[in-house]
Each structure stands twice: as structure tokens, then as C-alpha cells.
Structure 1
Amino acid sequence: MNRLPFLVVALLIAVPAIAETRKYGPLILDFGRAQKMGDSIVVPGVNPQKQPLFIAVLCTERLFNFTGAGSKWNDWNEPATIHEAKIVADICNFI
């Protein structure tokens, strides 16, 4: 039995899923579930302990926010690290 068609289908299914998940240092963000909410774009993710979190970006102001303990939002700030700056750039160019 020829396994090539099965392999091609498996790769076509797997590749888009990988492309939607991106790693930024210890964080993994799921761009496939990104949503526009008001003026911001919100992307779900997980931290190194596999706890869920959300990242929000205001593209017009290039501001960054995230949920912390208890899923409460922090204050809007400019990106403070290289990873945060990359997240802002990628999110604003993604949607």
C-alpha cells in the first residue's frame, strides 16, 4: 500500500497548526485564536508552567498588556523586553 498520500495529508494538516503557535522566550502564543477586541488585539497563550494567559496589544500606540495572577489585566506599557517588542511587532503585522 502506498503511504505517500497519507503522509502528504498528514503534513498539510500539521503545518498550519504549527504556523499558528509561536514561541517567545518562555511564552507560547496561539495566533490562530487571536481576536480583535475594541482597539486591541488579544492572543491567548501559556506561560512556562502551562498556565493560561492573554496578551493584548494596542497597535496604534504600540502598547503591550498581559494577564497575570487571577487572570487580571496589568497596565498598558511600552514593551519592556526584546520578547515583548517582538510580540507587539508580530501581532500588529499578523492582523
Structure 2
Amino acid sequence: MKFLLCIATILSTACPVLAETRIYGPLILDFDRAQKMGQSIVVPSKNSQGQPLFIAVLCTERLFNFTSSESKWNDWGEPANIHEARIIADVCNFI
């Protein structure tokens, strides 16, 4: 039994911890790098083409925002689809 416990300990310390990433339709969000900025929470993301962008959630108002391909923020708005609604729910409950 001690041998199995020793093996499990070695493996758990030798294996790198995987980042907390989640997929929402065409977006991949990196929850490990999420940051609270003012009243919003900003999460680094990638779109289906692998291009980086940022997602922002305003939990108090349940609003969603994201950066464009030019790295400029759009206007705050209500979720436009089920993926955005899930992102808001998960971000607000996770952080």
C-alpha cells in the first residue's frame, strides 16, 4: 500500500498542472489568467482561428463584452447567444 501511495505522490508532483481552460462554442477561455479589473472580470481567450482576444463580464449587471480583432473593446451588452450566457454564468460563479 505504501508503494502505491509513493507512486501516486511522485506522479502527482511530476505531472504539470493543466491550465483551467474551458470551451464555449468557438471560444477557448483561460480561467487561470482571469483578472478582476474594476467592477468587471477579464478573461484571456482565443477564437476558432487561434487569435487572442479578451472577454469581460460585468457580474452585477450580467453584461458581456469582448475585444475586436484590432484589440478594441466593444460596447457592453446582454448575452447574444447561449455561449455568452454560459460564459457569464461560469465567470461570475468561478471567480
The structure with more radius of gyration: 2
- Band of TM-score, shorter chain: 0.7 to 0.9
Q: Which position in structure 1 is the counterpart of 2:4?
A: none
Q: Which position in structure 2 is the counterpart of 1:81?
A: 81
Q: How many residues align structurally?
A: 90
Unaligned runs of 5+ in 1: none
**Which stretches of structure 1, 4 residues or more, deviate above 4 A after TM superposition?**
none
The secondary structure found in structure 1 opposite 2:61 is coil
Distance (Å, rounded) in 2 between the aligned partners of 1:66 and 1:84: 10
Q: Which position in structure 1 is the counterpart of 2:39?
A: 39
TM-score, length-scaled by structure 1: 0.85
Q: Which position in structure 1 is the counterpart of 2:60?
A: 60
The secondary structure found in structure 2 opposite 1:68 is coil
Higher helix share: 1
Unaligned runs of 5+ in 2: 1-6
- CA shift at 1:9, angstroms? 3.4
The secondary structure found in structure 2 opposite 1:70 is coil
- CA shift at 1:10, angstroms? 4.3
Computed over aligned residues only, the root mean square deviation of the Cα atoms, in angstroms, reads 1.9
Query: Among the aligned pairs, what percent are the same residue?
Result: 72
